[in-house]
Structure 1
């Protein structure tokens, strides 16, 4: 397949219409959003949606998220919208929040992975919403990467993973949030967070003080676990080399990582370290990448996937990562890190 790569401009109506036509005609398009880049197809077209799974190598029991360009479009897609879900839509849409609701029959089972529910979100990214409007169809879109790898936050990463596998890749700005959307199950009482993201638990509690995070997302899932939302079951966000998280007091973490590095060096192994601005100069004999300052977790979230991917070009044998406090967006950061490591965590 010849993949057309275009630099998207919301002011260029011809490019918007061209990409929208690809979606309408059953094609698949990678495009920027404020969370990560997505790989989209007409959510109502079974054959088109199947192309997403094929291009990504994605398991068929992993449900997709449907993207809309305005709130009115949700009415044909879901059976009802609970009162608290409406408040979340008013407060956080457009933005990095996905709501799980009971779907109508217009959404095929392949899109929802056979579930009676579906995740819906309205992105805040102008390019994403312009594409949905041009397609005149809701767009089903997981992240625009090979399944299991770190999600893409820029054009170059999409091209690396999907060139030759999709009809079109749209280049836009770097993703603002850098982590996939927060997913909230609105079919339960109280509501439940199925995936943490840029809309934090603290923010959601202002709408529903009983909302909680599903305990399954912060631990290794059982083999027979049936995911209700993307990212709940399979190993995700993983670079080529295995990742190990060192979790404990920061000073003890630095000392432990340096000891582990030396052990690998003694065995002629190459080590990568995920550090921060405050600690990056405290390591030696390894390839060190900083996520940013520990005082700015939003910056760390934005850079996480790029840093994970950067080690693929360094041919390292192991990646050692510092940990972060599980509060605010730190919960989402640790959720992605734990999944990238396959829950290989050394507690100090």
Structure 2
């Protein structure tokens, strides 16, 4: 059931569905989320069941503003406050200490919780309406609206293709960012980047005023976080990353037998692959298109998707991460 996210009546109805313990798919600037009342354990269990997601794999909770984070966060460290001020609303999730009385199911049973304030106008309107619903919903748990481990959705039609027709879907158009938020752990005394996004590490460091570490640079186990499994974001076709020279050599060797292969590359290649799409040179545009391209390739029935490895540059880190996980299955 797809509804126009620009319609205030649809927003109000969606908020009441969430307040009643139901599920609603909604757009954010990154990807579409499958939402439930983050404080309702039964509703959150519905997300895990619908996605086929392990219940100990935490969800990101969406809040309307930084002040609303206090409902779920036991405390907000200074570094997290700096990042909120710099990037909220926007594509950044912060891992914070969790209040023990709220959000346990959404947090996968951990004493930490991932919070994000989305920038999409439909998501923002929904979160504000949720606060006015009866009973009020103070935060919406919202992992990507797809089956667990599969390619994230960037349109309402992607969502509708994966779930029963009675799922309430707010249509906000194609998502403008296209890959999930960066995740920064703020619970260990210094910022740790658990998942890259379109925000670069340099941007995050400039905002918080210190170097951002990677998980293997910090002692102790990192909190579990959404979208950080080694194999994730995978289409049905097998994804393989290759440099341009290897791609061209493989196409030359296969010749007409490359019909069952799709190719996504920045370089101009010769060959007779079943599908060939050019990856944009701009990393932000490549991120915006990535998941939709993988879904389009799957729809053609190809068995293999060969992708030119993106540049080893900070602005490509999020795209490289998603492709590496998509190819790991």
Alignment of 1:109-120 (within 5 A): 109-120=104-115
Q: Give the deviation of 1:234 after TM superposition.
A: 4.8
Q: Is the 8 A contact 1:291 1:307 kept in 2?
A: no
SS across alignment from 1:34: coil
Q: Give the deviation of 1:226 after TM superposition.
A: 7.9
Partner of 1:304: 290
Once residues 265 and 49 of structure 1 are traced to their aligned partners in structure 2, the CA distance between those partners, rounded to angstroms, is 50
1:288 aligns with 2:284: no
Could you tell me the TM-score, scaled by structure 1's length?
Answer: 0.87
Residue 244 of structure 1, aligned match among 240, 248, 251: 240
Alignment of 1:181-200 (within 5 A): 181-200=181-200
Partner of 2:144: 143
Gaps of 5+ in 1: 217-224, 247-252, 344-348
Partner of 1:168: 168
Q: Give the deviation of 1:73 after TM superposition.
A: 1.1
Partner of 2:134: none
Once residues 120 and 160 of structure 2 are traced to their aligned partners in structure 1, the CA distance between those partners, rounded to angstroms, is 20
Deviations 1:241-266 (A, max 9, x none): 111111xxxxxx33321332344557
Partner of 1:318: 304
Q: Give the deviation of 1:213 after TM superposition.
A: 2.6
Partner of 2:319: 333
SS across alignment from 2:162: helix
Change (3 A) 1:215 1:297: farther
Deviations 1:258-309 (A, max 9, x none): 3323445576761111112xx2x423110112232x2x11001111111111
Once residues 198 and 245 of structure 2 are traced to their aligned partners in structure 1, the CA distance between those partners, rounded to angstroms, is 31
Q: Is the 8 A contact 1:61 1:227 kept in 2?
A: no
Residue 42 of structure 2, aligned match among 47, 66, 70: 47
Gaps of 5+ in 2: 132-136
Q: Give the deviation of 1:62 after TM superposition.
A: 1.2
1:124 aligns with 2:119: yes
State the Cα RMSD in Å: 1.9
Residues paired across the two proteins, number: 318
Runs of 4+ deviating beyond 4 Å: 262-269
Once residues 304 and 283 of structure 1 are traced to their aligned partners in structure 2, the CA distance between those partners, rounded to angstroms, is 22
Q: Is the 8 A contact 1:201 1:212 kept in 2?
A: no
Once residues 13 and 106 of structure 1 are traced to their aligned partners in structure 2, the CA distance between those partners, rounded to angstroms, is 32
Once residues 169 and 154 of structure 1 are traced to their aligned partners in structure 2, the CA distance between those partners, rounded to angstroms, is 10
Once residues 156 and 290 of structure 1 are traced to their aligned partners in structure 2, the CA distance between those partners, rounded to angstroms, is 23
Once residues 258 and 27 of structure 1 are traced to their aligned partners in structure 2, the CA distance between those partners, rounded to angstroms, is 50
Deviations 1:91-126 (A, max 9, x none): 111111111001012324221111100000100111
Q: Give the deviation of 1:227 after TM superposition.
A: 5.7
